[in-house]
Amino acid sequence: MEEFLKFDGVTKQFGHLKAVDDVTLTINRGEIFSILGPSGCGKTTLLRMLAGFEAPDTGRILLAGEDITDQAPNVRKINTVFQTYALFPHMTVRENIAFGLKLRKLPKATIDQEVDKMLAMIQMEAHADKKPAQLSGGQKQRSAIARALVLKPSVLLLDEPLAALDLKLRQRMSLELSLIHDEVGITFVYVTHDQNEAMSISDHIAVMQNGKIEQVGTPAEIYEAPKSSFVAAFIGDTNFFDGTITCVLDSEYCEVEVPDLSKKLICFNDKKLVQGDSVHLSIRPEKFSISLDRPAENPRQNVLPAKVEDIVYQGDHTRYWVSIAEDWRVAVTRQHNRFLLDQRRITWGDQVFISWQADDSFMLEQYREKDEDLLQMPPQNVGEEVPGAAVTAPEPSDTSVAPADGQATGQEEASQQ
Amino acid sequence: MKPSTPLRQRMLGEFAITLPSMIWLCIYFVLPTLIIFAIAFRSKGAYGGIGDTWTLNTLAELRNPDYPAIIWRTIWMSVICTLATLAISVPVAYHIARVSQWKRDILLLLTIIPFWTNLLIRIFAWRLVLHPQGMLRNLLISLHLIDPSTVFLGNPIAVLVVMIYTELPFAILPIYAAAEKFDFTLFEAAMDLGAGRLYAFFHVFLPGIREGLMSACLMIFIPLIGSYVIPDLVGGKDSQMIGNVIVRLALEQRNLPAAAAMSTVMFLIMSLPLLYYLKYTTAQHAKEVAK
């Protein structure tokens, strides 16, 4: 992959607020690159600077080696799909798509031909002569994409393109976007607050927080090896454990003492920490196994007794909320890859065991006081409650009732101790 | 089952709400207008009143050789004034819609405040400004910007300037209302697609505030057609408008039927843009219903 688009030490300040704080970022040619973060993290400002609507205070933006920092938006070979689509209401779909081509003073026959091609690609031939007000959300979305793509930009910017659509349409459009990307093969820069969207369509994701890039990586890297507790919490669900290393077992593993837990935990020590260091562990709900019987002893496995507090059945999996200490609940996910009707099922109030491999916990940077805010920060999806113990950026498909709020902050309190 | 009942109820409700203002309009607008129409076809009373026979002679009296020129002047002055007022108001309204909230409040206040002063007083203020011994003329002459023979007062230009000044708020406010609702992302979208600022202004912004422009046009064009105070006070012989003719017919010549006939002519001129507007809005409405 070739370096194509580059932010080089870009900073943008609005009053006292540093919307974008010294961002350096490289985007490859032809990939779908997502900028992911909660609202107000600076991702939209970054995109607007790329489009040319804002000028960075310091730093440069390079496109294929050329410095475009001071180029006006109408000169850049970059086009934008706006969050609200911004289709011209007084023009038909066809006129909207032709808008940019007309400005290039192309012959009418060429324009018609290009517009027809686009209409065919987005399957909107039947609606070509409608005004935007007569279109559905998905049709507006597709028209906006066609209007930008018809100019054959080097980079297509998409600003929360699916945010205004309902769930089913969002899933379909996200698939359609991937197909369109495969067809045109240009670089997409995709801004979103929805981790699922970002995970499902991106080649690379940059997670942003407070104007800074927290981590850049493939979706799998970001999910499996988050660099900070913010990333761990924002991407998917996770449980945090805080403790102190009491013993380094060998080069790879260590024992961690966690206050309130009856047992020391054994963890993979990828940060090569030493005895006495405090650590912040993240364990994803699906890494836990849950069982009624105590699992067989294994030196590389942690087992904790727990009590089932809540069960959320989701068809393909079940989410359990189990307490492992006073006021400390963790989320455990169990896939239903095998379902036996006569098996005694785990139910409310059961005493169970949760177990996980030492390799399944992930060490994060030391837990800091200020993280408390972002751990409690509700993800951006509306209508979703944040289940307590695990910090959850909920899946939009989550239709179940989240556990009661009253118990919500249990784990964070515990992890502070 | 009557599926139409809710709709019928709603229409009845709307009718009930509209009724008082309809009655008001009938008594104080429709009826007087019809009376004026009727007077136009009455004979002239000997001592300035209205006679008691029907006649078509009044129409013949309108065949004054001066009138076509005055009617024509009324139309072109109103059209020019409307266009000039719009040309000033659109950038102003655009600016007001784009600045921060507190600046916006101040600018709107500044637009409205002149309303609080009586129109006549404002016109007299303009007389002072444009007066042959006025500060403006003396200043411009001393700066050698104008020829000492230039007169400001008593010509169509003076009338136009004062008319534009009086009509500005009536244009700025509706255009601002439309500009405020305008989605300025569209501007960015146009730029993003390669448009310059001017192109975006004419091809995206102006069509976007079309409704505001239309109502501003009506709001100023109709009173302009009927204006008589401004031509009377700052205009001269060559800037008389229909309004002045009507005043002269009614008050000086005491010829009420002729004044009524002239008013009817003015009413017909005014109703042309109104009819167009009505046709336009019903077409828009029909389109929306068709969706």
Q: State pLDDT tens for residues A79-123.
A: 999 998 999 999 999 999 999 999 999 999 999 999 999 999 888
> CB B186 to CB A88 under 8 A?
yes
CA distance to partner chain B, nearest, from residue A5 (Å): 18
Chain A within 8 Å of B193 (Cβ-Cβ)? Answer: yes
Of all residues in chain B, what percent are helix, strand and coil, respectively (each to 5)? 75, 5, 20
pLDDT at A377 over 60: no
Which own/partner contact pairs does A365-372 have at CB distance under 8 Å and 24+ positions apart? A365/A227, A365/A228, A365/A229, A365/A280, A366/A278, A366/A279, A366/A280, A367/A229, A367/A240, A367/A242, A367/A278, A367/A280, A367/A415, A371/A229, A371/A230, A372/A412, A372/A416
Q: A103–B195: do the CB atoms touch at under 8 Å? A: yes
Q: Does B247 touch chain A (CB under 8 A)?
A: no
Helix (H) / strand (E) element for A4: namely strand A3-14
Distance CA A219, CA A392 (A): 17
CB pairs under 8 A between A and B: 61
Statement: residue A259 has pLDDT above 70: yes
Rg of chain A (C-alpha set): 25
- A86 HSE (CA, 13 A, CB side): 26
Kindly report each contact of residues A122-130 with a partner whose C-beta sits within 8 Å and lies 24 or more positions away, as own/partner: A122/A146, A122/A180, A124/A93, A127/A93, A128/A92, A128/A93, A128/A94, A129/A92, A129/A93, A129/A94, A130/A92, A130/A93
DSSP A223: H
Check pLDDT > 70 for residue A151. yes
Which of B232, B241, B284 minimizes the C-alpha distance to B266?
Answer: B241
Residues of chain A with CATH 3.40.50.300: 3-224
Give the closest-approach CA distance of A121 to chain B in angstroms.
Answer: 19
Predicted confidence band at A367 (pLDDT cuts at 50, 70, 90)? very low
Determine the Cα–Cα distance for residues A288 and A400; give it in Å rounded to an integer.
Answer: 21
Give the pLDDT confidence score for residue B291 in this predicted structure. Answer: 56
- State the average pLDDT over residues A407-416: 38
Q: In B26-155, which ranges are continuous DSSP H helix? A: 31-39, 57-61, 67-98, 101-112, 119-130, 135-142
Contacts of A73 in chain B (CB under 8 A): 188, 191-192
- Which phi and psi (to 5°) does residue A75 adopt? -105, -30
- Intervals of CATH 2.40.50.100 along chain A: 229-416
Which of A89, A134, A151 has its CB closest to that of B193? A151
* CA distance linking residue B14 with residue A73, whole number of Å: 49
Whole-number Å distance between alpha carbons of B50 and B38: 11
Determine contact, residues B134/B152, Cβ cutoff 8 Å. yes
Which pLDDT band holds residue A386 (cuts at 50, 70, 90)? very low
What residue of A is the nearest CA neighbor of B184?
A: A86
Which pLDDT score, from 0 to 100, does residue B95 have? Answer: 94
Q: Which residue of A has its CA nearest to B183?
A: A86
Q: Which one-letter amino acid corresponds to residue B18? A: T
In CATH terms, A3-224 corresponds, of 2.60.40.10, 3.40.309.10, 3.40.50.300, 3.40.470.10, to 3.40.50.300
Whole-angstrom Cα distance, residue A4 to residue A9?
16
Please tell me which of A180-184, A227-231, A299-303, B89-93 the model is most confident about, judged by mean pLDDT: B89-93
Put simply, the answer to whether B208 touches A53 (Cβ < 8 Å) is no
Smallest Cα distance from B279 to chain A, Å: 19
Q: Among partner residues B196, B208, B210, which is closest to A74 by beta-carbon distance? A: B196
Q: Which residue has the higher pLDDT, A373 or A294?
A: A294
Q: For residue A342, what pLDDT band results from cuts at 50, 70 and 90?
A: low
CB nearest to B195's CB, from A74, A80, A87: A74
pLDDT at A11 over 90: yes
Q: Quick one: pLDDT at residue A362?
A: 86
Please give the model's pTM, rounded to 2 decimal places: 0.76
Q: Residue A228 — pLDDT band, cuts 50, 70, 90?
A: confident
Nearest Cβ partner of B291 from A73, A78, A134? A134
What number of other Cβ atoms are within 10 A of residue A339's Cβ? Answer: 7
Place of tokens 């600003």: A159
DSSP letter for each residue of B173-237? HHHHHHHHHS-THHHHHHHHTT--HHHHIIIIIHHHTHHHHHHHHHHHHHHHHT--HHHHHH--G
Kindly state which CATH superfamily the domain B62-290 is placed in.
MetI-like (1.10.3720.10)
Q: What is the C-alpha radius of gyration for chain B, rounded to an integer number of angstroms?
A: 24
CB A197, CB A170: distance < 8 Å? yes
Q: What local confidence, expressed as pLDDT, does residue A173 receive? A: 85
Question: Angle at the Cα of A93 (from A91 to A97), degrees rounded to 5?
Answer: 95
Query: How far is the C-alpha of A245 from the C-alpha of A255, rounded, in Å?
Result: 6
CATH topology of domain A229-416: OB fold (Dihydrolipoamide Acetyltransferase, E2P) (2.40.50)
Q: Which amino acid is at A21?
A: D
What was the pLDDT predicted at B123? 92
> Measured between CA atoms, how close is B207 to chain A, in angstroms?
7
* Chain A residues in contact with B291 (beta carbon < 8 A): 133-134
Question: Are B193 and A148 an interchain contact pair (Cβ–Cβ within 8 Å)?
Answer: yes
Task: For B188, name the nearest residue in chain A, comparing CA atoms only.
Answer: A53
- Within 8 A by CB and 6+ apart from A144, the residues are A81, A82, A85, A86, A87, A161
Return the residue in A45, A47, A53, A74 with the most chain B beta carbons within 10 A, the one to mutate for interface testing.
Answer: A74
**Is a pLDDT exceeding 80 seen at residue A417?**
no
8-state DSSP, A285: G
Cβ contacts of A15 within 8 Å, gap of 6 or more: none
C-beta separation of A244 from A404 below 8 A: no
Q: Give A120-145 pLDDT, tens digit per residue.
A: 988 899 999 999 999 998 899 999 99
Residue A383: what pLDDT?
36
Q: Which of A87, A90, A100 sits opposite B194 (nearest CB)?
A: A100
pLDDT at B190: 94
Euclidean distance between the first and the last CA atom of chain A, given in angstroms as a whole number: 46
Q: What is the pLDDT along chain B (291 residues), one digit of tens a residue?
A: 455 567 788 888 888 899 999 999 999 999 999 999 998 888 887 777 787 888 887 878 788 888 889 999 999 999 999 999 999 999 999 999 999 999 999 999 999 988 888 999 999 999 988 888 888 888 888 888 888 888 888 888 999 999 999 999 999 999 999 999 999 999 999 999 999 999 999 999 999 999 899 989 988 998 898 888 999 999 888 888 999 999 998 888 888 888 999 998 888 888 887 888 888 888 877 776 665
Q: What pLDDT shows up at residue B149?
A: 81
- A133 → chain B, closest CA residue: B291
CA distances from A281 to A217, A236, A242, A268, A413 (A): 20, 15, 6, 10, 15
pLDDT for the residue A28: 93
pLDDT of residue A382: 36
Look at the alpha carbons of A367, A371, A372, A378 in this order and tell me if their dihedral is positive or negative. Answer: negative
Q: Given a cut of 90, is residue A252 above it in pLDDT?
A: no
Over residues A296-309, the mean pLDDT reads 89
**And the tokens for A337?**
């890859």
For chain A, list residues whose CB is within 8 angstroms of any CB belonging to chain B. 51-53, 72-75, 78-80, 82, 84, 86-90, 99-100, 103-104, 133-134, 147-148, 151
Q: Does B207 touch chain A (CB under 8 A)?
A: yes
Are the C-beta atoms of residues A195 and A237 closer than 8 Å to each other? no
Q: Cβ(A284)–Cβ(A236) under 8 Å?
A: yes
**B85 to chain A, closest Cα gap in Å:** 25
**B 147-186 → A contacts, CB under 8 A:** 183, 185-186
pLDDT at A314: 85
> What tokens appear for A98 in the block?
């032709």
Instruction: Quote the pLDDT of residue B288.
Output: 67
Pick from B186, B192, B207: which is nearest to A79 by CB? B192
Q: Residue B3 contacts by C-beta under 8 Å, 6 or more apart in sequence?
A: none
Q: So what's the pLDDT on residue A376? A: 45
